[in-house]
Amino acid sequence: MRTLKIVLIITLVAASVGFILSDTTASEINGVTNRTVSKDSEPRMTSVKLNEIGIMTASWYGPKFHGRLTANGERYDQMGFTAAHKSLPFGTVLQITNLRNGKSVLIRINDRGPFIEGRDLDLSKGTALALGMIEKGIIKVKAEEIILSSDKDPVNTLN
């Protein structure tokens, strides 16, 4: 269910438009939720805002921690698009941009760290690959928080 929420958040952000369905029914089969939407459902617009957090120093972590529990209780997937931060709330979605090459990705905070002086973010290996930073190891990134604003929470409405 958490993965479904993450996919929905990223889809909403990437499209810059979200739809909140007011008349849905759901059934779950083998852990996959199927939704039926009434023809009378009226979508509501959701706006996406970027709140600039600033320039951060980012490193990455992967194989040694793959499959272990993260600080929020989920299993670490080194190829996922997640990160560790010392204080940002779990579930915070950030747009991270590599300042050297302009590559940008959306990530979700699901762990605590890094615990090395001078580093602000520990990115998953998948994120590091997408940003083109595997060999470099440590880079400067621009971090912007993704904020969805609507009269309803587009993720929790679908429960």
| 0.85 exceeded by pTM | no
The pLDDT value given to residue 16: 36
Q: End-to-end distance of the chain based on CA atoms, in angstroms? A: 9
What SS3 state is found at 104?
strand
Architecture of the domain defined by 49-147: Beta Barrel (2.40)
**Ranges for all domains in the chain classified under CATH 2.40.40.10:** 49-147
d(CA 76, CA 15): 27
pLDDT tens digits along 11-55: 545 543 333 333 334 444 444 444 444 555 666 667 888 999 999
Written as one string, the DSSP assignment of 17-68 is -EE--SSEEEEEETTEEEEEE-TT----EEEEEEEEEEEEEEEEE-GGGTTS
pLDDT tens digits along 85-143: 999 999 999 999 999 999 999 999 999 999 999 999 999 999 999 999 999 999 999 99
Q: Are 60 and 122 in contact (CB under 8 A)?
A: yes
